[in-house]
């Protein structure tokens, strides 16, 4: 695949703090890349460096084969940004807001009018185009925010937490819209703390922590990196402690919890369900339910970055 963004050896310092530490990544044309990291991981700093909003100490950033600089207006015109905070003008209508942001890149009035209307249609704001933002719900404001970022039809779009604090219907509309943008040829860099969204959307995921790349790959590839591969839940009463201990000693098992009603077994890669059931059947226990849950992207994220709370 063609590389549309390449970051090589990026270093960004704030006095003694190294916010980004020799970070490298590529984004392939036409893909949705999930860029994940805990608070303070260097994710936002990296994005701001890519957008040439921040100066950096070392490294190179190229977009569509050209070096990105603060004066790379030809490149910037091909980039759309949908920030986490809704960034629109309260005194302008929906139409006027989209027209303003589109006008930063498209001078021809007829072409701009066409693109603004296409953006309105795309996010489903036709009946609200004369409204001012204060009259819009949170979900509609988010959709307006997206329209302002994509109206000029950029080839590369950065989405930063686009579904924060919206209802499920608006969330689905936004996610469907992102999928559609990719189908129309856009390359998308998507950041979110909602792991299920990233798992649903992303072709490939990069996890950054403490300014460094700590994992990269497809969802399945990332899941294969972690110790946990399966959570087995068995509804069963009266399991003796000696039999619980026998299950603990099985190969691949690294965690067993039993509350007298439900047995929970966390295990690594292997034929785990069969082995656990075999132990219980040999002792004549009657199981009322057996469930196997595969690891989620959230499990991967927590195992790789830790479970301690992070400051913003």
pLDDT at 282 over 90: yes
Q: What is the pLDDT of residues 18-74, one digit of tens each?
A: 999 999 999 999 999 999 999 899 999 999 999 999 999 999 999 999 999 999 999
Answer for the pair 182, 30: CB distance below 8 angstroms, yes or no. Answer: yes
**Residue 306: predicted pLDDT:** 87
Q: pTM score, two decimals? A: 0.88
pLDDT at 311 over 70: no
Same fold, 3-223 and 230-294: no
**Banded pLDDT at 294 (limits 50, 70, 90):** confident
Return the CATH class of domain 230-294.
alpha beta
The predicted model gives 171-192 an average pLDDT of 94
pLDDT at 200 over 60: yes
The structural domains of the chain, with segments of one domain joined by +, span: 3-223, 230-294
**Residue 312: predicted pLDDT:** 53
Q: How far is residue 280 CA from its own chain's centroid?
A: 40
**Residue 117: predicted pLDDT:** 97
Greatest Cα pair distance, the chain, in angstroms, is: 79
The predicted model gives 13-18 an average pLDDT of 94
The share of the chain scoring above pLDDT 70, in percent, equals: 98
**Residue 1: predicted pLDDT:** 66
pLDDT at 221 over 70: yes
Show contacts of 239-244: CB within 8 Å, 24+ apart. Answer: 239/263, 239/280, 239/285, 240/283, 243/279, 243/280, 243/283, 243/285
**Residue 310: predicted pLDDT:** 65
* The CATH fold of domain 3-223: Rossmann fold (3.40.50)
**Rounded mean pLDDT of the chain?**
94
SS (H, E, C) the chain: CCEEEEEEEEEEEECCEEEEEEEEEEEECCCEEEEECCCCCCHHHHHHHHCCCCCCCEEEEEECCEECCCCCHHHHCCEEEECCCCCCCCCCCHHHHHHHHHHCCCCCHHHHHHHHHHHHHHHCCHHHCCCCHHHCCHHHHHHHHHHHHHCCCCCEEEEECCCCCCCHHHHHHHHHHHHHHHHCCCEEEEECCCHHHHHHHCCEEEEEECCEEEEEECHHHHHCCCCCCEEEEEEECCCCHHHHHHHHCCCCEEEEEECCCEEEEEECCCCHHHHHHHHHHHCCCCEEEEEEECCCHHHHHHHHHCCCCCCC
Q: What is the pLDDT of residues 63-92, one digit of tens each?
A: 999 999 999 999 999 999 999 999 999 999
Retrieve residue 217's tokens: 């790959």
Q: What is the pLDDT of residues 125-138, one digit of tens each?
A: 999 999 999 999 99
The predicted model gives 104-126 an average pLDDT of 95
């Amino acid at each position: 695949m063609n590389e549309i963004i390449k970051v090589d050896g990026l270093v960004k310092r704030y006095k003694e703090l190294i916010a980004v530490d020799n970070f490298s990544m590529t984004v392939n044309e036409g893909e949705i890349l999930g860029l994940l990291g805990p608070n303070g991981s260097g994710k936002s700093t990296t994005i701001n460096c890519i957008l040439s909003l921040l100066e950096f100490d070392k490294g190179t950033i190229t977009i569509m084969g050209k070096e990105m600089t603060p004066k790379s207006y030809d490149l910037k015109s091909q980039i759309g940004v949908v920030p986490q905070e809704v960034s629109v003008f309260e005194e302008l209508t929906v139409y006027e807001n989209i027209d303003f942001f589109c006008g930063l890149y498209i001078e021809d009035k007829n072409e701009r009018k066409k693109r603004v209307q296409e953006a309105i249609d795309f996010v489903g704001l036709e009946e609200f185009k004369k409204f001012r933002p204060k009259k819009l719900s949170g979900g509609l404001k988010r959709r307006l925010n997206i329209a302002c970022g994509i109206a000029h039809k950029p080839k590369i779009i950065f989405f930063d937490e686009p579904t924060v604090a919206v209802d499920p219907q608006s969330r689905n509309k936004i996610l469907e819209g992102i999928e559609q943008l990719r189908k129309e040829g856009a390359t998308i860099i998507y950041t979110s703390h909602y792991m299920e969204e990233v798992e649903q959307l992303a072709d490939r995921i990069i996890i950054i922590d403490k300014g460094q790349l700590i994992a990269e790959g497809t969802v399945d590839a990332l899941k294969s990196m972690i110790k946990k591969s399966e959570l087995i839940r068995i509804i069963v009463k009266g399991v003796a402690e000696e039999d619980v201990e026998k299950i603990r000693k099985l190969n691949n098992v690294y965690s067993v919890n039993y509350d007298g009603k439900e047995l929970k077994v966390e295990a690594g890669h292997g034929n785990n369900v069969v082995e656990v059931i075999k132990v219980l059947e040999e002792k004549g226990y009657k199981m009322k339910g057996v469930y196997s849950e595969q690891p989620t992207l959230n499990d991967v994220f927590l195992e790789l970055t830790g479970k301690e709370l992070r400051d913003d």
